[in-house]
Amino acid sequence: MSNRAEMTRRDILKSGAAVATLTLAPGVTLMAFGGSDAKAAAADAGKRWGLLIDANKCDSNCSDCVTACKTENGWGNDGGAHSTPETESAWIRKVTLKDKNTGREVSAPVMCQHCESPPCVDVCPTGASMQRVDGIVLVDKHICIGCRYCMMACPFKARSFVHSDVPEQSVNAPRGKGVVESCTLCVHRVDKGRIPACVEACENAGHSAILFGDLKDPESPISKALKQYPSIALRADLELDPGVRYQNL
Amino acid sequence: MERTIYRTIKATPGIWGMAALLAAFIAAAGLSVLLIEEEGHIITGMNNQIVWGLPHVFAIFLIVAASGVLNVASISSVFNKKAYKPMARFSALLAMTVLLGGLAVLVLDLGRPDRLIIAMTKYNFTSIFAWNMLLYNGFFAIVGFYLTVQMTKGLSHKVHKAAGVAAFTWRLILTTGTGSIFGWLVARPGYDAAIMAPLFIAMSFAFGLALFIVVTLTLFKLDGRIFGDKLMERMGSLLGVFAAAVLYFTIVQHLTAMYAQEHAGIERFILRDGGIYTTLFWLVQVVLGGVVPMALVFLRPSRQSTILASILVIIGGLAQLYVIVVGGQAYPLEIFPGYEVLEGFNEGMVNAYSPSIYELALGLGGVALALLAAGVGAKILRVLPTNLSDANYPD
């Protein structure tokens, strides 16, 4: 399925059921969500969405991108008596690094790298880990069985397993106990022509360290920036061709 | 040589007692699963850094051992060793129940065990996990057929041999698949090695034979049947060879990894600086689970040596899988080569893991399920010979 015109009646009904379920019973069930089928309907094979993160522009004292992602997608408040930072979800995290040779310090956010050849998709037994035609890597929460093999396979620690009930969900991103989740590149915004929440928050904070755009369009700002300045991919040795690139790292 | 007579086990008080004990372990596991289902994995020791924990150690141990348990049958029908023939039926039965126990643990630890039907109906064929599901189901079918062939009167030797060869081939493929779950994980330096497949095959030979010896001997003792000393010694020396094979592949695994600078960190961690993982590796896996059993069966071959060696190989095997599964995850992923991480979320540091009682209960419940199912099988099927006396097998 490559565009909205090809959505079947079943897909539309599923999407409707999704909205209805979330409205009527937030946090109670995920069973009726439209999920990735409906989302994938908006994917365009002619595009490949990506991010370019400039570590020089990223402020080590700022974590607005993380806060914005939490608010947008409703994670980070799972809490509970047994909760620890290690059991909490982390769709995006900030890291501050020091070059071992030069002592130079840099800061940058890390999230799902939306690889062209994603190991999480390769290893998933049911196909719940999936890649849209526009390169966005997602988890289909209908068919994720919670085996966590994708988390074993991800080189970036980008995925989280939901360890307890999720009382406060966001309508933007259905979540559920016992399944795996990660950055969706704010697919719900991208499909409406908007930019991801982290990118917007970084702009609003005055840093503009994260550039979002279509890597396949040579005229897009991200493609031009990549062409003009050196950049790297995390774990480039694995040749996964991530959609997220870093400058000045 | 007398013709082998197979009889079901009698319901002695000892057998009942053992069954009750195993049922208690299974009940404890069931309770743990219900609690984990209700509360979420938050009550376990597993987290987003150590995503596979103690249940996986038990599950993989049982799955690996299952194919090894079948070796006793293979030795008789594929390699024509007559002394192993009377044990072939129980070998096939125990192989199936041990796999059942392992799979039960694996499935019940899923975040959504209620979605097992999805795992059975939606296959992603680039996933070795999905292939393994087919291999497990195939194992039940082929070994079940093999057991049926053995218990059917009047079938020719050729049919026996063909079923035996099929089962043996399948078990080799199955363990290759289990090893490849780790071998094909390119992201983590502790895995990502082709040697995982042959290493797991060697492990299955050793763990499976050890488990077979302990379980069969226990059933024989509870039912008052004779298990000859010479046969025990003979199986002990075979176990010694298998333990040596595990050590050999372990040595090659680590030497190869040490040679590559990119793996120097994980090797230093496992072999020298890893605390509990280093202790488990050297003391439990290598010495108690490898060197000591070999010394026992080769230097002082006896009935007692075989029994002790079998128990030690099982303990060493669990330690080995703990080091592989948990140790491999405890060592941090190298996401930013050349950088020291000043701030981040569990970046560049060893991940802590302390298993909860629920995970232990689930793992032990899987073992208990395997054993209880084998016992029930031996109660209703004629799979155990009336005796394995040395008099049956003159040299």
For the segment A109-128, the average pLDDT, to the nearest whole number, is 97
Q: Which pLDDT value is given to residue B349?
A: 85
Task: Report chain B residues whose CB lies below 8 A from the CB of A105.
Answer: 342
B40 touches chain A (CB under 8 A): yes
Q: Find residue A11's DSSP bridge partners.
A: none
In the predicted structure, residue A29 carries a pLDDT above the cut 50: no
A239 touches chain B (CB under 8 A): no
The percentage of residues in chain B with a pLDDT greater than 90, rounded to a whole number, is 89
Q: Which pLDDT value is given to residue A120?
A: 97
In the predicted structure, residue B271 carries a pLDDT above the cut 80: yes
Contacts of A81 (CB under 8 A, 6+ apart): none
C-alpha distance from A92 to closest chain B C-alpha (Å): 10
Q: Is the domain defined by A46-247 classed in CATH 3.40.190.10?
A: no
A117 touches chain B (CB under 8 A): no
Asked if A88 lies within 8 A of B48 by C-beta distance, the reply is yes
B386 touches chain A (CB under 8 A): no
Highest mean pLDDT among A111-125, B150-164, B329-343: A111-125
C-alpha distance from B23 to closest chain A C-alpha (Å): 27
In the predicted structure, residue A9 carries a pLDDT above the cut 50: no
Q: Which pLDDT value is given to residue B164?
A: 96
A179-238: per-residue pLDDT in tens?
999 999 999 999 999 999 999 999 999 999 999 999 999 999 999 999 999 999 999 999
Asked if B112 lies within 8 A of A145 by C-beta distance, the reply is yes
Q: Which two tokens stand for residue A47?
A: 């595009």
pLDDT band of B337, cuts 50, 70, 90: confident
B348-380: per-residue pLDDT in tens?
789 999 999 999 999 999 999 999 999 999 999
| Cα B63 to Cα B53: distance, rounded to the nearest angstrom | 16
Identify the structural domains of chain B with CATH numbers, from first to last. 13-228+239-333+347-384 (1.20.1630.10)
Residue at A67: amino acid letter: T
A139-194: per-residue pLDDT in tens?
999 999 999 999 999 999 999 999 999 988 999 999 999 999 999 999 999 999 99
User: Closest partner residue to A100 among B41, B185, B339, by Cβ?
Assistant: B339
The secondary structure element, H or E, covering residue A235 is none
User: Closest partner residue to B118 among A89, A121, A143, by Cβ?
Assistant: A143
B205-225: per-residue pLDDT in tens?
999 999 999 999 999 999 999
